Structure 1
Amino acid sequence: MTSRRPLPPPLELPKPGFGRRTPPALFQPIMGLFGLGLGWRAAAGAFGVTPAIGDLILGATSILFLYTFAAYLAKPLRRPATFMEDLRVLPGRAGLSAASLCLMLFAVVLAPYASGLATGLTLLAFAVHVGLVVAITLAILRGPEEGRVVTPVFHLSYVGFIIGGLAANALGYPEIARWLLWSMLLPAGLIWGASARQLLTRVPPAPLRPLLAIHLAPASLFTMVAAGAGLQAPAYAFSALAAAILIALVVSARWLVTAGFSPLWGAFTFPLAAFASALVTLSQGQGAMSGIGGIALVAATLVVPWVAYRVFKLWPGGKLAAKTNAAEA
């Protein structure tokens, strides 16, 4: 009599339900797409290109953001603990910081069409980001000691309020934009300094090197906010700083991507788009700076959607959630 074979273990199928493991890493490429659309909006005024390009990008990105935001909110609404679980890991902190900043960028998109709604959305996004910064700080302090080091992601969390300056300028409050600009210089400077010191003492792991591109974003945003608030001299100084950071990143490009494509490549998207927007905004289509800004905008148009597509392609089937250790409801 032949012995019966043991039955195979039961398959663990994913739990049904909308958004149970939506990864926060989706929001960094969305942030890049918002930046790209705002760059083309600036190009319409500076170069006279059709505003339809920027409107199309911003409209499509707004829909994508609202859908992804709803998909993510479905997770903590089912199990609130998933929010703090996502904040325990670096991709989660980066992604959730980008999510609240996308809310601010959405307000900038709406400002020319619905100033009242954009103002309310800006205040809401600002409050959300304040709460998020408190939660991130608690997660870092309660986490392991090796996780309490300064990373480029700190810019998204602690300096991200500067995007409120873009909204303030768009809504006609340049004095608020100036206040945000000067108040964000200190945390940005501390993060830049701490990161430079770390680079001199130890080499970042290859998978985390794309995050270094985030250092470009604050300098580019400072340029745009200063230019919009009428501070021309500081705007040119910040643009020079942004250019120096970009040159360092371009020179180190092969070293930055040596680990191959990963969801952390989303960190390349917004800084590149913001740099292009900064030069286009500051130059207003005049001089050599406008040419460099135009080239950077074309480069961003090629790179940002490609990276966003590659990241979003990993979302179905749970690959992106697994790669970024996203919490599950």
Structure 2
Amino acid sequence: MSTPPRIMPKPFNAAPQGFWRATPPAIFPPIMGLMGLGLAWRNAARVIPGAPVWIGEMLLGAFSLLYLFALLTYFAKMARRPSVIAEDLRILPGRAGLAAGADTGFLFAAALVPYSAGAAKTVLVLSLIALTVVALLIIRSFTLGPAEQRRVTPAWHLSFVGYILAPLSAVPLGWVGLSQFLFATTLPIAAAIWIISAMQFAKADVPPPLRPLLAIHIAPLSLFGIVATLVGYTTLALAFAWIGVTALIVYLVGVRYLTKGDFSALWGAFTFPLAAFANMMFAAATLTPVPFRIVGGLELVAATLVIVYIASKIMQIWMRGKLSKATNAATV
């Protein structure tokens, strides 16, 4: 009589069956960087003579599909157990990722503007609602969670200053008043985060694994420069542009400090600030072509290589089913 085959127990912490059941929010920051990169190539074609138009549109089409796929997989995870979003918000990668997911909606709306004003308006409104819901849930998580969770981090820009992305589509759609309101209300919040972060940095060093998050500070700075250009605040726009150039030089000098830790999903924080800076240079180039057009073109080439490299590595980790466990994302 043959012995029946032994059924081995399921390994502890094994990845759940079904790709969508473990979708980590950490996929959204690099996708945000890719969408910003596509917009940067679109804007480059507008200010750099001879720059091909098709590159930006091709990239925006491909990255928009990736964004929609990522949203679908996360919504499928939420549909099985809606409370999973509260679990993701308890950890830093989850909070940053979900905020970036809502923020990327603003970039998607900007990508849609030349093709369908109606679709762009719909996506813009939905993104405003989504970011507001995420921000309120994060505040609730801060209230219920430990005090350490309420420590100010650069990722707060994504949650509470991300509205500044809305004017990228709102101004072309004619919603200038809304854009001016968002500029006026988010600038003090960003300034408070910059000041508190600087004070914390002066008191204690940032652990190597968290240092990539410091790059986020340059993203709102760049976006304020872009929006100031769009709404006609010329002096402010040029001031932000020069401050941005100075900040980028500082970051480049400190790149070894920022990248001292091993590669992780938090490296996605390098992507969207690089894209935002390129877009700011091209916005400033509409006011003063030299030197911003040159700086923007050079930075865009370098940013393309860096953003695509980081995003592709994070996407590979995701596709192998390891990103969820690496970022402690909730599973269903």
Other-structure match for 1:174: 176
Tell me by how many angstroms 1:17 deviates.
2.8
Other-structure match for 1:4: none
Give, as a single letter, the amino acid of the residue that structure 2 aligns with 1:11.
Answer: K
Percent identity between matched residues is 44
- 2:294 paired with 1:291: yes
Give, as a single letter, the amino acid of the residue that structure 2 aligns with 1:287.
Answer: V
Find runs of 4+ consecutive structure 1 residues off by over 4 angstroms.
none
- 2:36 paired with 1:35: yes
Deviations 1:270-324 (A, max 9, x none): 0001101100121138211211111111111111111100000101232111110
- 2:14 paired with 1:11: no
Other-structure match for 2:155: 153
SS at match of 2:114: coil
5+ unaligned residues in a row in structure 2: which ranges? 1-5
- Distance in 1 (CA, whole Å) between partners of 2:183 and 2:166 is 9
Deviations 1:34-79 (A, max 9, x none): 1101111111110131210000110000000001110011111101
- Given that 1:210 and 1:268 are in contact with CA atoms closer than 8 Å, whether structure 2 keeps it comes out as yes
Moved more, 278-287 or 263-272: 278-287
- Given that 1:29 and 1:266 are in contact with CA atoms closer than 8 Å, whether structure 2 keeps it comes out as yes
Give, as a single letter, the amino acid of the residue that structure 2 aligns with 1:113.
Answer: Y
Other-structure match for 2:125: 123
- Given that 2:142 and 2:149 are in contact with CA atoms closer than 8 Å, whether structure 1 keeps it comes out as yes
- Given that 2:23 and 2:324 are in contact with CA atoms closer than 8 Å, whether structure 1 keeps it comes out as yes
SS at match of 2:151: coil
For residues 142-221 of structure 1, the aligned pairs below 5 Å read: 142-221=144-223
Give, as a single letter, the amino acid of the residue that structure 2 aligns with 1:24.
Answer: P
Other-structure match for 1:3: none
Give, as a single letter, the amino acid of the residue that structure 1 aligns with 2:250.
Answer: A
- Given that 1:111 and 1:167 are in contact with CA atoms closer than 8 Å, whether structure 2 keeps it comes out as yes
Match of 1:225 among 203, 224, 227: 227
Other-structure match for 2:3: none
Deviations 1:152-207 (A, max 9, x none): 00000000000011111221222322221111111000000000000100001110
- Distance in 1 (CA, whole Å) between partners of 2:142 and 2:68 is 28
Give, as a single letter, the amino acid of the residue that structure 2 aligns with 1:46.
Answer: V
- Given that 1:219 and 1:238 are in contact with CA atoms closer than 8 Å, whether structure 2 keeps it comes out as yes
- Given that 1:18 and 1:74 are in contact with CA atoms closer than 8 Å, whether structure 2 keeps it comes out as no
- Distance in 1 (CA, whole Å) between partners of 2:207 and 2:16 is 34
- Distance in 2 (CA, whole Å) between partners of 1:108 and 1:53 is 16
Give, as a single letter, the amino acid of the residue that structure 2 aligns with 1:311.
Answer: I
5+ unaligned residues in a row in structure 1: which ranges? 1-6
Tell me by how many angstroms 1:9 deviates.
5.1
- Given that 2:15 and 2:22 are in contact with CA atoms closer than 8 Å, whether structure 1 keeps it comes out as no
- Given that 1:215 and 1:245 are in contact with CA atoms closer than 8 Å, whether structure 2 keeps it comes out as no
- 2:100 paired with 1:101: no
Tell me by how many angstroms 1:264 deviates.
0.5
- Given that 1:112 and 1:170 are in contact with CA atoms closer than 8 Å, whether structure 2 keeps it comes out as no
SS at match of 1:20: helix
Aligned-residue RMSD, C-alpha: 1.5
Give, as a single letter, the amino acid of the residue that structure 2 aligns with 1:173.
Answer: W
- Given that 2:90 and 2:145 are in contact with CA atoms closer than 8 Å, whether structure 1 keeps it comes out as yes
- Distance in 2 (CA, whole Å) between partners of 1:30 and 1:162 is 18
Other-structure match for 2:84: 82
- Given that 2:19 and 2:321 are in contact with CA atoms closer than 8 Å, whether structure 1 keeps it comes out as no
Give, as a single letter, the amino acid of the residue that structure 2 aligns with 1:62.
Answer: S
- Distance in 2 (CA, whole Å) between partners of 1:170 and 1:61 is 21
Other-structure match for 1:303: 306
- Distance in 1 (CA, whole Å) between partners of 2:274 and 2:160 is 20
- Distance in 1 (CA, whole Å) between partners of 2:122 and 2:7 is 56
- Distance in 1 (CA, whole Å) between partners of 2:219 and 2:323 is 24
- Distance in 2 (CA, whole Å) between partners of 1:37 and 1:168 is 18
- Distance in 1 (CA, whole Å) between partners of 2:16 and 2:272 is 33
Other-structure match for 1:133: 135
Give, as a single letter, the amino acid of the residue that structure 1 aligns with 2:42.
Answer: R
SS at match of 1:113: coil
